[in-house]
Amino acid sequence: MKSIISTIAALSLVAIMAMGATPAQSNDPLPAPTNITAINGTSPGEVHLAWDAIVGANYYRIGWIADADYRQTLAAGTDFFERFVFVDVAGKTSYTATRLTPGEDYWFIVASKRERYGTPYWSNWYYLTLSKETITFGDLNWSSALLQNRIAQYIVEKGYGYSTDVRFGARLPLFQGLGSSDTDVLMEIWLPNQNEAWNQATENGAVLSLGKNFSDWRSAFVIPAYLQEQYPELDSVEDLKNPRYKRLFATPETGGKARLVSCAIGWSCKDVNAQQVAGYGLSDHVAIVNPSDGAALNADLLGAYERREPWLGYQWGTNDPALKLDLVRLEEPAYSDQCWFTTKACAYEDATVLIAANPDLPALAPDVVAMLRQWDFNRDVYQAVVRWQDENPDADFTATAIWWLNNNAGIWSRWITNDAAAGIRAALRAGEVADGWPR
């Protein structure tokens, strides 16, 4: 973002006195600094100031005040001088102010001085709007996360004035990116199947939970309902040891074993599902197939369902096919900690899905963090989206996000401030898109 810089006329003598300048103690007063520049730095909350050298000046005093503080003191009739921050530098004609608030407006002044505690001769005031942080969302490779990213990006840009970006990748590198500041937000952290990495990262202070997004069920053993209607006795994972049902799911590539379409390569549930298969004693009966990504997993199921063919594999409650199709979960022993942390020969625990952030984000974008803490994109909300997408197959995630925002203000307005809501509504009326959306 380019800096927005403007200047105003020099302060009157009365105003200068209010800033703490004292009558000259010399018959030869110094000129005030000129040609002052103030630009946003490379890091959020950082401003680089520079000015021309003044002959005879051994020190310079730099001062700044947030515009909100300045206006507050004027309204209260108090001395705004007391709200300024001042720094003295010796023999330099530049200074970098740090720890300012991104997105806020500030006033800056510079004075020349002969001595450290001598009379300051103040410059004009200079006005600068600090650049806001660019919020980078991790584009996880499944539909519910991608859609929520597009909606969140729009809200962050149009409602709160931040720029956004996305980082593509698999779950693990994007998760690790939260600790290295390569990624700012992940909209879906699935627990407990990411418990080990999550617990370690939180203990090390590498990630920050912004609260629960939604809850969900998961299973590695789902079949179409039409198939169970044909084979009503096929209702448990134990039934997969029956040669009759093994043959039902077998393909030429599986060597007589039942084909089980499991988690995508790079997903942590890939290894969990393999441990479940071994724990149930199904290694001699089931051949695991790992798709390249979530889209391939869904296409495999949707294709078989359309052809009314047998299908066995992994699904979760908010995945598109689970919301569109009539599926049946095969019975598994109930979850218990003792089972899960040993053999995994039991069902998944229902998932808790969190929103995770870079731990520095609250300091850089506190309003965005406050919004995300209110986020609630539950299964019922997402199911309505998936049904609309089914009726509008040409709509991509950006078009779906625009449709959802236009038709669900009653939901998203509960997450945000009134000012943010007004900005979003105005942007929607103008037909604007988010600048950070992938092109």
Can you tell me the distance from the alpha carbon of 115 to that of 44, in angstroms, rounded to the nearest whole number?
33
Phi, psi of 430 (to 5 degrees): -85, -5
Question: Model's pTM, two decimal places?
Answer: 0.68
pLDDT digits (tens, 9 = 90+) for 391-421: 999 999 999 999 999 999 999 999 999 999 9
The answer to whether 344 and 272 are in contact (CB under 8 A) is: yes
C-alpha torsion angle, residues 188, 198, 364, 51 (rounded to 10) = -130
What pLDDT score was predicted for residue 24? 39
Q: Which element (helix H / strand E) includes 122?
A: strand 121-122
Amino acid identity for residue 278 in this structure: A
- Would you identify the CATH topology of the domain 4-129? Immunoglobulin-like (2.60.40)
Give the domain ranges of the chain.
4-129, 134-214+351-429, 218-340
What pLDDT score was predicted for residue 18? 36
Low-confidence ranges of the chain (pLDDT < 70): 1-27
What pLDDT score was predicted for residue 129? 86
Sign for the pseudo-dihedral over CA of 190, 193, 197, 200:
positive
What pLDDT score was predicted for residue 171? 86
What pLDDT score was predicted for residue 25? 44
Residue 10 tokens, joined? 């020099």
Nearest to 149 by CA among 186, 95, 200: 186
Q: Which element (helix H / strand E) includes 302?
A: helix 294-306
Residue 191 Rama label (left phi>0; alpha psi -120 to 50; beta):
beta
What pLDDT score was predicted for residue 42? 82
CATH class of the region 218-340: alpha beta
Domain 134-214+351-429 is of which CATH architecture? Answer: 3-Layer(aba) Sandwich (3.40)
Question: What DSSP line would sit under 28-46, residue for residue?
Answer: SPPPPP-S-EEEE-SSTT-
Sign for the pseudo-dihedral over CA of 212, 139, 424, 106:
positive
Can you tell me the distance from the alpha carbon of 421 to that of 403, in angstroms, rounded to the nearest whole number?
16
The answer to whether 384 and 334 are in contact (CB under 8 A) is: no
What pLDDT score was predicted for residue 321? 92
Question: Can you count the helices (H) and strands (E) in the chain?
Answer: 18, 19
Do 134-214+351-429 and 218-340 have matching folds?
A: yes
What pLDDT score was predicted for residue 71? 94
